[in-house]
Amino acid sequence: MIRVDGSSDSQSLIRVRGLNKTYSRGGEKIQVLQGLNLDVDKGDFVAFMGPSGSGKTTLLNLLGGLDVPSAGSITVAGDEITHMSGSKLTQWRARHVGFIFQMYNLIPVLTAYQNVELPLLLTKLSGSDRRKHVETALAVVGLADRMQHYPRQLSGGQEQRVTIARAIVSDPTFLLCDEPTGDLDRKSADEIMALIEELVNRYGKTVLMVTHDPVVAARAHTTLHLEKGLLVEGKGSSPQSVLAGGAA
């Protein structure tokens, strides 16, 4: 169950309360998030939409522990991450978050296999255990036969699938996707979305995704709109967000 009114009493997996984020640029303060609330349960699949500059990436960065909020709290599986120190937060990310960005963000000098293995290098797993996990993750995304390929030898859709394999290989608590299909054609985008849906429906993953594309957003259980620093449910009420969504 996904809620944005901050009224949930159940112990949700991700619980955001009064989240504020203010950037200062040359003395001028830009308030991007203004007291945002959010509850996401295990196995949920939520899409965030909103016009460019509305703070979608900012929100994902805060949820993923890549940045710290100006005020408010984020609790994931009972751990409050907003007060963690830098190195604690790094460890927390490694254990709980799988990232999938728009630009595939693979290391170009490593093979698909080696890219997917990276998060496991931070664990105590033995070499053969790592191999098992990497092979499974690549099989899930349908690239078992491309393990030794370098990113430049793969198509955009295949690269994005390697990124997904890298995000799920350490079995994180939830996945964060920032415009995962933003750089892909419709066919590849559909394949990636089918894969993400499979992760949710078959493997019970929790996924939070930012997208400009209403077709992509329609795959999620719920679509939330970011407006004036807050999340609102259902179809966007502001013409701006509809326009931005339709144009993508």
Partner 1 sequence: MKFRKLIFANLFRKKVRLILTVGSFAIALVLFTFLAVVKSAFNRGVELAGADRLIVVDRVGLMNLMPISYADKIAAIPGVKAVTHDHWFGGVYQDEKNFFPQFVIDVENHRKVYPEFVVPDDQWNNYVKDRQGAIAGAKLAERFHWKVGDRIPIKTTLYGGAIWEFNLDGIYHTEKPDGDQGQFWLQWKYFDENVPSVIKSTAGWYILRLDNPDDAVRVAKAIDEKFANSPHETKTETESAFAAYFAKQFGNIEFLILSIGGVVFFTLLLVTGNTMAISVRERTSELGVLKAIGFTDRSVLFLVLAESLAIAFFGGVLGLALAILAIPGISAAVTGLLPPLLLSKPMLLLGLGFAIFVGAASGLLPGIGAMRMRVVNALRRA
Ligand X SMILES: Nc1ncnc2c1ncn2[C@@H]1O[C@H](COP(=O)(O)OP(=O)(O)OP(=O)(O)O)[C@@H](O)[C@H]1O
52 binds ligand X (CB under 6 A): yes
Q: Does 77 bind partner 1 (CB under 8 A)?
A: no
Q: Does 182 bind ligand X (CB under 6 A)?
A: no
Does 48 bind partner 1 (CB under 8 A)? Our answer is no
How many residues touch ligand X under the rule CB under 6 A: the total is: 12
Binding mask 6-35 for ligand X (x = CB under 6 A): -----------------x-x----x-x---
Is residue 211 part of the contact set for ligand X (CB under 6 A)?
A: no
Residue 230 CB, nearest distance to partner 1 (Å)?
Answer: 21
Residue type, 222: T
When asked if residue 66 is in the footprint of partner 1 (CB under 8 A), the reply is yes
Amino acid (one-letter) located at 68:
V
Note the residues at the interface with partner 1 (CB under 8 A): 57, 61, 64, 66-67, 86-87, 90-91, 93-95, 99, 101, 103, 105, 107-110, 114, 118-119, 121-122, 166
Give the footprint of ligand X on this chain (CB under 6 A): 23, 25, 30, 32, 50, 52-58
